[in-house]
A and B are shown apart, each in its own frame.
Chain A
Amino acid sequence: MSTTHQITVPIDKTTESFRDKVIRKCGESVEMKEKFFTKYAELLEVMSRAMAERFQRGGRLFVMGNGGSLCDALHMCVEFNHPIIEKRPAFPVIPLMTDIATMTAIGNDIDFTRVFVNQLRLLSLPSDVAMVFSTSGKSPNLIYALQAAREKQLLTVAFAGKDGGRFPEIADYCFIVPSYSIHRIQEVHATVVHVVWDLVHIALGAEDVT
């Protein structure tokens, strides 16, 4: 679990040039992606095949997230709903963060922690997939949605960061970016969106051309 310290020379961020900052942050981002995808390559394959199977049988993917993670979830929608490669079929991905009328009604009348779970219970079927993006894994509105999805027999997938929060206990497939930096976590999630879309189609026999 642990390896030996190497105490490196401290970086003085106050005198670092802008160019060096850019290179360093980019390096951190690349390193985080390498760590994540090396760790989860096999699990991503298994998960993508499970998702592909559900899509083939008419299942839909429901995605959720807050803030920056909302953007990553929404990105998943456009990848599947409007594929960049014409030969690949479109599959239905439904975001639960965009109906602001329903969201604000639930948030205003009931509680913001219920904005996703209430919609999910109403709109989803056991043949569907639920996928959440979160940097902490602790957002109550996502935890409740995942729990309800699990109870309803949806396939549940979670992308998180930090320590993963409650997601590992609830999701069928849980992927945790090993970082406490919100930006680095989201940068990995952004790549995940493309990789997952690609793997699902390759699992269904598509040519690997991206």
Chain B
Amino acid sequence: MKYIDEYRSEALAQKVVSEIRRVVTRPWVLMEVCGGQTHTIVKYGIDHLIPPEVELVHGPGCPVCVTSLEMIDKAHAIARRPDVIFTSFGDMLRVPGSEGDLLVLKSRGADIRVVYSPIDALKIARANPNKKVVFFAIGFETTAPGNAMAVWQAHKQGIKNFSVLVSHVLVPPAIASILQSPLNRVQGFLGPGHVCTVMGYREYEPIAERFCVPIVITGFEPIDILEGVLMTVRQLELGKWEVQNQYPRVVKREGNLIAQDLVNKVFEISDRKWRGVGSIPKSGYKLRYELRDHDAERIFEVQEIDTKEPDICISGLVLRGVKKPHDCPAFGQQCTPEHPLGATMVSAEGACAAYYAYGRHLEQLQRRSAGGAGQKVEEPSVVR
């Protein structure tokens, strides 16, 4: 496939890797933000290909993983209702709430349907006028235009039985939050390529400047990731901190203004709780007041929710790049994709699921049986 195959060329990968090897002179810690990028890194073993001085830690760019437990429990409460058809992307159905996941609820008779696009949910609403159709609108900024369009069309066409349960999250506040943490080790970022296709990358410039970290907006194929790593390491070696665009074939600095326009008509910025991380101010979207008739949080009054998180799960630390999946004692043991304890094991973009899918739990077993330690040593953060 064009624009995919050529970015998986092994020969080109080798070139980029040897160039990284040539320029690197000391250890650096980089974070890739997007779950899709984590997936590519683990699938192609990019973290093993690049020189050992460059460490890749995984960021919170998995919207399924960071949807708060309260929101999952709210989804359950709504989906349980007999007058509701609850629609969602496939991944969300297997995220453990306080009392099991949505798939379990479905097996008990709740009308829960997987959709590929929010427009499909809208079609279901049109076809079922006597039911309340709710779409679980999670995602980063990449998904916001699609969700905005569905709500806008429902609003314009008077599809009154369609509503969305919104739990959008935004990347720049998450990056700022990671950089402000005393545990932070990250010195450079591979920025989210598809988020920036929509939003552009202007918002990252003040972050790069204030925290003195290079941010390279990167694509998702192995060559993209390798080039992103190269560009970031080059900046670090030269003592620079700029926002650069590795993905110019789709990302422009101003992004997609038409999409941003509709997103701003439908959503407004809100505080948002990130699972495993906590509340990050102004890091989410919620529906604007004008569209309250399509806001599932307003329409369905949900009682006080008592959340229960398994103690052993360290997904919060994994999402912030402080620990790796194999640092978790439950990884590959009690916690597997079939029986996930936390969201990072459920989602295709979650770091734990990616590590498991590509056999990293087997490496961990080997390390344990050889008597080696699986724990990473924390380094103090460097003050610049």
Contacts and interface: CB of A to CB of B under 8 A. Distances in A.
A12 to B, nearest CB: 8
B384 A140 contact: no
Closest 7 CB pairs of A and B: A5-B239, A163-B206, A4-B239, A111-B289, A138-B282, A140-B268, A138-B269
B211 A163 contact: no
B242 A1 contact: yes
Interface of A: 1-2, 4-13, 110-111, 113-114, 136, 138-140, 143, 162-165, 176, 178-180
Most chain A CB atoms below 10 A, which of B238, B239, B292:
B239
B102 interface: no
Contact of A113 (B203, B268, B384): B268
Given A2-B209, A164-B206, A180-B211, 13 more contacts: A1-B209, A2-B212, A4-B240, A7-B382, A7-B384, A10-B381, A10-B383, A11-B383, A110-B289, A165-B282, A180-B179, A180-B180, A180-B210
Nearest to B268: A140
Contact of A6 (B211, B240, B384): B384
A6 B240 CA distance: 10
16 contacts: A1-B205, A1-B209, A2-B208, A2-B241, A4-B239, A5-B240, A10-B380, A10-B381, A10-B382, A11-B383, A139-B269, A162-B206, A162-B210, A163-B205, A165-B269, A180-B211
Q: Chain B contact residues: over half helix, strand or loop, or mixed?
A: mixed
Contact of B384 (A8, A13, A136, A162): A8
B190 to A, nearest CB: 18
B289 A5 contact: no
B209 A178 contact: yes
A9 B205 CA distance: 26
B119 interface: no
A9 B384 CA distance: 8
Contacts of A1: 205, 209, 242
A145 to B, nearest CB: 13
Interface size class of B (residues with CB under 8 A): 20 to 34
Given A111-B289, A178-B206, A2 B240 contact: yes
A136 B179 CA distance: 16
Nearest to B379: A10
Interface of B: 172, 176, 179-180, 182, 203, 205-212, 238-242, 268-270, 281-282, 288-289, 292, 380-384
Contacts of A8: 383-384
A121 to B, nearest CB: 15
B271 to A, nearest CB: 10
Most chain A CB atoms below 10 A, which of B180, B208, B210:
B210
A11 B270 CA distance: 34
A136 B282 contact: yes
A12 B380 CA distance: 9
Contacts of B241: 2, 5
B339 to A, nearest CB: 39
A46 B179 CA distance: 35
B48 to A, nearest CB: 28
A140 B264 CA distance: 11
A176 B206 CA distance: 10
A5 B203 contact: no
A109 B174 CA distance: 32
Nearest to A110: B289
Contacts of B270: 140
Contacts of B381: 10
B289 A162 contact: no
B203 to A, nearest CB: 6
Given A5-B384, A10-B383, A136 B209 contact: no
A98 to B, nearest CB: 23
Nearest to B292: A111
A146 to B, nearest CB: 13
